[in-house]
Structure 1
Amino acid sequence: MEGEVIQGLSPVQVVALVGVLGVGAQWLAWRMRLPAIVLMLGIGLLVGPVLGWFLPERDLGPIYRPLIAVAVAIILFEGGLTLDYARLRDARAPVRRLVFVGAPLGWALSALVLWLAVGLSWQSAAVFGGVMVVTGPTVIAPMLRQARLRTRPAQVLQWEAILNDPIGVLIAVLVLEVVLVLETGVSVGAAAWLLGTGIGFAAVTGWVAGKGMALAFARAWVPEYMKVPVLFVSVIAVFAATDSVLHETGLLAVTIMGMMLANAKLSSYVELHRFKEHATVLLVSGVFVLMAASMDFATLGQLTWRAALFVVFTVALARPLQVMLPLIGTQLPMKERWLIALTGPRGVVMVAVSGLFGAKLVEAGIEDGATLAPLSFIIVLATVIIHGFTLAPMARRLGLSGPERPGLLIVGGSPFAVALSQALEKAGVDTLIADTNRQHLTPARNAGLQTYYGDILGEAAEHQVEFIAYPVVLAASDNDAYNTLVATDLGPDLGRDAVWQISRVRDRSRHALPAQLGGQRLAGRPTFEAVNQRLAEGWTLRSTRLSEEYDMDDWQAERPGAEPFAVVTKAGVLRFAGPDQPVTVQAGDWITAFLPPELSEPSDAPDPELAAEAADVARERRERGETGS
């Protein structure tokens, strides 16, 4: 009875259900710290072929394929927006080789495996081989964070995934066009003309649309509040226009359009980039659930042992050759090459594109095109599980894993930053102090602490700072406006619960910032001047570890007047004391607190030079009458 009720869902109800299931799976994966793609696959299979609650082609009818096509177009436009030429030029030689040599080589190797091992026709093998190049940036990023890889191998893997994401799809698009034209039975000359005009029209249209949109945005021909809607409908319009000339060339057009916008250096690029990320999360969730729900177990059963052979050859042969051959002659150490070669998880873009292209091949009379979607599910699931469980142990065995200790990035060099770093170092926290003023970093360097000279929001920092090792940020420079900018910019990427900010001088009543700006506030609302003035007056920052025998009550009894500032749990999680987050500690946790002068032991006494500098810093800001601007 329940199944009959679900089968009666309208298309609108099906779309709503798919959205809830897709986003719900991603949220559940975040809570359980599991790959979201695995949960989305399981949910899609459960509600589709297993329980039969809804089948996309049956319940959505003729709008199912167009919905998938438009969603894939927007996803590929998002991929094009990641292709910044400047970043590609700045990328290291290994990344360039993996893009320019590794991508075509990966296509050839994957197509060969699909043809020989799986038994696909050359048409299906050539098309799916292009999609196999994509390693999936949305899948590999959480794996890198969990494995805590060192900077160089992590950057190579991440940049390869970002750059090859649209390139692999473009290869598949071009091959698909060749196959579809050849299957129509036209002459070689007519086929070349049809392909040339269709692909040329798509490339020119995408280029013109991207340049035109960039010009319109730069010259304020489109108001700010309409930029995202105009961009959204423009992508769909370009896709529809080019696709009407030659099927599937619309995907090429929107990818090129995204590339043009990515390199236009628009002032509103950040807002556009974040919107497309949000839209992509929704679309990826929906597409993946829909594709899983439309899975045909009968088709999947036809693969038999060839599917296992496909996974083995891909993971153990095609991927290692795709990486090791292009990296011959580079200065990349051999152990890093092997780590990269044995890490290649596939993502949702592969599933979305292979399902769409497989249907096109079937329509053209190539029956084994129906196996592309099941094969993509198998390789995605297998690689996510294999690499998810092996990446961290392999990195540790090769000596390529980052520090196991928690990390804190302090933006702003000052005596307070030095004192906090030294106190947290005792609690097992690695710190990095960043500042745009070299002189502000002198005390930290003298104390032997890690520093970064430059703007933490600049492009150089993306390549030089190991952000994976510093998941928590404290904006504590002498410029309140810059602190707010840093916290606001890094919040969406790191999570707003991991970005903190010392209080502004004017942070009350009419001077208070909106809730969407800045980072989390610290308990007691300490300002830059206040914390440095404390150090000048003889206060110290000290870390103490609690135990079953020595708990929080004992600590407080021995330290009247001490003010808890941060806690490092025994699991290695760093959190600061906030106005709405009282300090809670357990046995094995470290507590870092401000101790008044009378409680400071001789060994805790601040360095005279550091105390003098703290006094000078506080005094200079008072005399300037700084208000944080």
Structure 2
Amino acid sequence: MSLVAIVALVLALGVASRVLADRLRIPSVLFLIFAGVVIGPEVLGFVSRETFGGGLSAVVGVSVAIILFEGGYHLHLDKLRESPTALTRLVTIGAVVTWLGTAAAVVVFLETSLEVGLLVGALLIATGPTVIGPILQVVTVRDHVAAVLEGEGVINDITAAILVVVVFEVLVAGNGTPAALVGDFAMRLFVGLAFGALVAGLVWLVLDRARSRPCAAPLHARLVVLAGVIVAYAGAETIASETGIAAAATAGFVLGNVDLPYHEDVIDFLDDLSVVVLSFIFVALAALIDFADIRAVGLAGLAIVVAVTLVLRPAVIYLSTTNARFTHNERLFLSAVGPRGIIPASVATLFAVELQALGRPQEAQLLAGTVFLIIFTTVVLQAGLARQIADYLEVSPMRTIIIGGGRVGLSLAERLEQDGENVLLIDLDPDAVEKARKRGLRAIEGDGTDADILEQAGADDAKTVIATTPDDDVNLLVCQLAKTTYDVESVAS
């Protein structure tokens, strides 16, 4: 088949996988990885490592940058405030425990060197929006649970992408001392964050000062944002390798938290674009899975899978989510859902080649086999069964919206939250909103009689809307709006 025909086939399979996943309410990554395996050398043989030549790594890099930019764009500060302590622990202590614990499992079960163990461990820190996003599209969880999963996905992708390069250069290739590892990691992280923030500032400045015709302005906004993603990624990579991921994610995060012109148009564009690139790279990389590498790790590889998924992941979650807001079942859900995504898949292929170049082919095979086995297993079991796991653990409550953050509304919100309900409180008074947030509640500032505010609060998917303001007329209006406009099942005042 010609390269054009293969690209068309990959895209067609990707889109078909997404449509099928939406109909069956199963995360699309499950169908994407199976589609890739089918057209790969293990089944039909349409795609091999030689198909895309040397250009695949560049295409994957830009695609991952777009996906992480979109993930960062949706990662709003108020979302991060849902569970700041849990998220901070998960991306710091949790990342270190995952790294070192995975490295120990690799060294013990595969009897390989500590350097290779640390390299594999660094790769498998990442979960990423490529697998978490599709899960949250079909599984509804309370906001603080979703915030932890989304935040972990974006931040740990950055951590893993930089750490694996530093570990390889310092410990495997021997281009530096172990003491330089921390400094090199910090330098690359700073480059990525700083360059991403700089590009975000320039994009915002261009869009804010632009004088485009009204009919063309939304298109120009989309094009400027797309150019910003590519410039952030390519510019940071030019300065230091594997910093482009951090730059793209940072640019997305900054732009998602400022008053960006044509915000809704940009969101729609990013969502559509990410679906296309996610479909392409997941199918393409899945097609490159070499099952000979996976078979080479044998039972030792399965032991590592058990250690990573059934020992390390639960330990990291229970260390991170110690506050009372997370129910026991939510902790179990977070423990059971930690699939690995594109970053380990794309970077593992690169460093397997690097290890072969260093004359260590056996270690290259062990690295590729272990990483792809864990990706394949976690995508199939954890991502593929995420909705069933959520239903079994009963962690998918529909949203309850409370209008009015006074004494009654606040007490009711706390009681419902303790019962495991997915509660959102709305109040015009910023002090009331801040008070609710300090008590660990999800709250937004706004007028509960405003249709835009209710839409922002997710009234379309709400089970209950309760009005508790001191004004009976306002309460009546809220209930009427919720019932007639959003068809909420239950309203009360």
Partner SS for 2:125:
coil
Letter of the aligned partner of 2:276 in structure 1?
Answer: L
- Residue of structure 2 equivalent to 1:454: 426
C-alpha displacement of 1:277? 2.4
Tell me if structure 1 keeps the 8 A contact 2:339–2:383.
no
Letter of the aligned partner of 1:454 in structure 2?
Answer: I
What is the aligned length? 448
- Residue of structure 1 equivalent to 2:159: 171
Letter of the aligned partner of 2:209 in structure 1?
Answer: R
Tell me if structure 2 keeps the 8 A contact 1:324–1:337.
no
Tell me if structure 2 keeps the 8 A contact 1:139–1:346.
yes
Give the whole-Å Cα distance in 2 for the aligned partners of 1:240 and 1:333.
40
| Residue 307 (structure 2) pairs with residue 313 (structure 1) | yes
- Residue of structure 1 equivalent to 2:148: 160
Tell me if structure 2 keeps the 8 A contact 1:133–1:164.
no
- Residue of structure 2 equivalent to 1:285: 279
- Residue of structure 2 equivalent to 1:348: 341
Letter of the aligned partner of 2:6 in structure 1?
Answer: V
Partner SS for 1:331:
coil
Q: Deviation string for 1:68-125 (max 9, x for gaps)?
A: 2221222232333344344323435333332343233222222322332344543443
The unaligned stretches of length 5 or more in structure 1 are: 1-6, 410-431, 467-476, 500-527, 533-540, 542-564, 566-573, 577-591, 593-609, 614-629
Give the whole-Å Cα distance in 1 for the aligned partners of 2:405 and 2:168.
59
Give the whole-Å Cα distance in 1 for the aligned partners of 2:18 and 2:345.
17
Q: Deviation string for 1:446-502 (max 9, x for gaps)?
A: xxxx9976279x999998579xxxxxxxxxx997xx5478669969x96xxx99xxx
Letter of the aligned partner of 1:220 in structure 2?
Answer: A
Check 1:128–1:230 CA distance in 2 against 1; reply closer, same or farther (3 A cut). Answer: farther
Check 1:30–1:83 CA distance in 2 against 1; reply closer, same or farther (3 A cut). Answer: closer
Tell me if structure 2 keeps the 8 A contact 1:345–1:380.
no
- Decide which moves more: 314-323 or 354-363: 354-363
Partner SS for 1:58:
coil
Letter of the aligned partner of 1:314 in structure 2?
Answer: V
The unaligned stretches of length 5 or more in structure 2 are: 414-420, 464-475
Give the whole-Å Cα distance in 2 for the aligned partners of 1:146 and 1:174.
31
C-alpha displacement of 1:312? 1.0
Q: Deviation string for 1:120-168 (max 9, x for gaps)?
A: 543443343234233455645676787766x3xxx44322221111322
Check 1:100–1:267 CA distance in 2 against 1; reply closer, same or farther (3 A cut). Answer: farther
Which of these two proteins has the greater Rg computed from alpha carbons?
A: 1
Tell me if structure 2 keeps the 8 A contact 1:45–1:295.
yes
Check 1:478–1:139 CA distance in 2 against 1; reply closer, same or farther (3 A cut). Answer: closer
Check 1:72–1:371 CA distance in 2 against 1; reply closer, same or farther (3 A cut). Answer: farther
- Residue of structure 1 equivalent to 2:467: none
C-alpha displacement of 1:352? 4.1
| Residue 233 (structure 2) pairs with residue 239 (structure 1) | yes
Matches within 5 A, 1:340-379: 340=333, 342-359=335-352, 361-362=354-355, 365=358, 367=361, 368-379=363-374
Give the whole-Å Cα distance in 1 for the aligned partners of 2:326 and 2:191.
44
Q: Deviation string for 1:200-221 (max 9, x for gaps)?
A: 5444322321222223223336
Higher helix share: 2
Letter of the aligned partner of 2:240 in structure 1?
Answer: L
Tell me if structure 1 keeps the 8 A contact 2:333–2:389.
no
Of the three residues 29, 33, 41, the one matched with 1:41 is 33
Of the three residues 253, 264, 278, the one matched with 2:258 is 264
Give the whole-Å Cα distance in 1 for the aligned partners of 2:355 and 2:237.
18
Tell me if structure 1 keeps the 8 A contact 2:127–2:341.
no
Letter of the aligned partner of 1:161 in structure 2?
Answer: L
Of the three residues 204, 207, 211, the one matched with 1:214 is 204
Tell me if structure 1 keeps the 8 A contact 2:36–2:284.
yes
C-alpha displacement of 1:385? 4.5
Give the whole-Å Cα distance in 1 for the aligned partners of 2:187 and 2:86.
35
- Residue of structure 2 equivalent to 1:339: 332
Check 1:114–1:218 CA distance in 2 against 1; reply closer, same or farther (3 A cut). Answer: farther
Tell me if structure 2 keeps the 8 A contact 1:291–1:355.
no
TM-score (norm 2): 0.73
Check 1:160–1:135 CA distance in 2 against 1; reply closer, same or farther (3 A cut). Answer: farther
Matches within 5 A, 1:494-573: none
Tell me if structure 1 keeps the 8 A contact 2:30–2:384.
no
- Residue of structure 1 equivalent to 2:97: 105
Partner SS for 1:454:
strand
| Residue 319 (structure 2) pairs with residue 325 (structure 1) | yes
Give the whole-Å Cα distance in 1 for the aligned partners of 2:427 and 2:269.
25
Give the whole-Å Cα distance in 1 for the aligned partners of 2:338 and 2:487.
32
Higher relative contact order structure (alpha carbons within 8 Å, sequence separation ≥ 6): 2
Tell me if structure 1 keeps the 8 A contact 2:10–2:280.
yes
Give the whole-Å Cα distance in 1 for the aligned partners of 2:17 and 2:284.
13
Tell me if structure 1 keeps the 8 A contact 2:405–2:427.
no
- Residue of structure 1 equivalent to 2:43: 51
Give the whole-Å Cα distance in 1 for the aligned partners of 2:209 and 2:62.
29
C-alpha displacement of 1:291? 0.9
- Residue of structure 2 equivalent to 1:224: 218
Of the three residues 118, 124, 133, the one matched with 2:125 is 133
Matches within 5 A, 1:580-591: none
- Residue of structure 1 equivalent to 2:267: 273
Give the whole-Å Cα distance in 1 for the aligned partners of 2:197 and 2:31.
38
Of the three residues 21, 25, 30, the one matched with 2:17 is 25
Give the whole-Å Cα distance in 2 for the aligned partners of 1:213 and 1:36.
31
| Residue 68 (structure 2) pairs with residue 80 (structure 1) | no
Partner SS for 1:171:
helix
- Residue of structure 2 equivalent to 1:296: 290
Give the whole-Å Cα distance in 1 for the aligned partners of 2:138 and 2:246.
34
Give the whole-Å Cα distance in 2 for the aligned partners of 1:162 and 1:452.
19
Letter of the aligned partner of 1:171 in structure 2?
Answer: T
C-alpha displacement of 1:359? 4.7
Check 1:131–1:490 CA distance in 2 against 1; reply closer, same or farther (3 A cut). Answer: farther
Percent identity among equivalent residues?
Answer: 23
- Residue of structure 2 equivalent to 1:253: 247
Of the three residues 191, 194, 200, the one matched with 1:204 is 194
